[in-house]
Amino acid sequence: MKTPLLLLLAPLALYATDDGCESEPPEPEPIGLLHSEPGVCDGYIELQGYDGSTVDSGWGRIDGILDQAALIIIRDDCTDIEERCPAGTRLQGSVAVGQGECRNDSNGVSTSGINLDSGFMGLCSAGDLVWIIGHDDCGGLTDSCPTGFVPVGNFHVGSGGCDGFPSGKDWMDQPLDSGWLTLCAEEGHGAVVVVGSDC
């Protein structure tokens, strides 16, 4: 299965440098892909992009500053691949992809370009990009982005089952069986989620 090519033209802003001069900030670049409900076009929204666009089944591409964030494979159900957060970053939440089935599909792509069929993808950052639990289908606690952060995309995880088997975790390691994980970026970071549909 080929992964889609999602394009984004990001707005530019000016940043002050140490010498007082202004310069363009680093451009956000793709740090990874997540596939939600592959091929299941059932009318239920599974992804929401930074611009409010939604898709049923499809891909969410996370764009960020490459030396400040990464998407890694923290558990692979089908092989022994496991990646670690880059130096200077730590795990800020995780998302399950695939459904425990090893079908040689691509349901996630890490920053290093490794495809994941089924398992968990982890988000690494220095703290300026985090997952929060935006809505818990099972009635648990929900959260909003920390002060100084803005929501840049939403991913639905789990299938509505409240069975004690997490389909994701937030930046404080709180588990989520089924619900919405919201990606929050520090204001000015430039990170976004761009979505593309299978349906």
Domain-embedded: residue 4: no
Domain-embedded: residue 21: no
Q: What confidence tier does 171 reach under pLDDT thresholds 50, 70, 90? A: very high
Which residue range is the domain that position 117 belongs to? 28-197
Domain-embedded: residue 157: yes
Tell me the pLDDT tens digit for each residue of 84-134: 999 999 999 999 998 777 888 889 999 999 999 999 999 999 989 999 999
Q: What average pLDDT does range 186-191 have in this prediction?
A: 86
- Residue 142 contacts residue 136 (beta carbons within 8 Å): yes
Domain-embedded: residue 15: no
Report the number of distinct structural domains present in the chain: 1
Of 34, 81, 68, 41, give the one whose Cα is nearest residue 57: 41
- Alpha-carbon distance 35 to 193, whole Å? 12
- Alpha-carbon distance 132 to 120, whole Å? 16
Domain-embedded: residue 2: no
Q: What confidence tier does 36 reach under pLDDT thresholds 50, 70, 90? A: confident
Q: What confidence tier does 14 reach under pLDDT thresholds 50, 70, 90? A: very low
Domain-embedded: residue 134: yes
Instruction: Provide the whole-model pTM.
Output: 0.83
Domain-embedded: residue 3: no
State the sign of the Cα–Cα–Cα–Cα dihedral 54, 59, 62, 63.
negative
- 107 SS3 class: coil
Domain-embedded: residue 166: yes
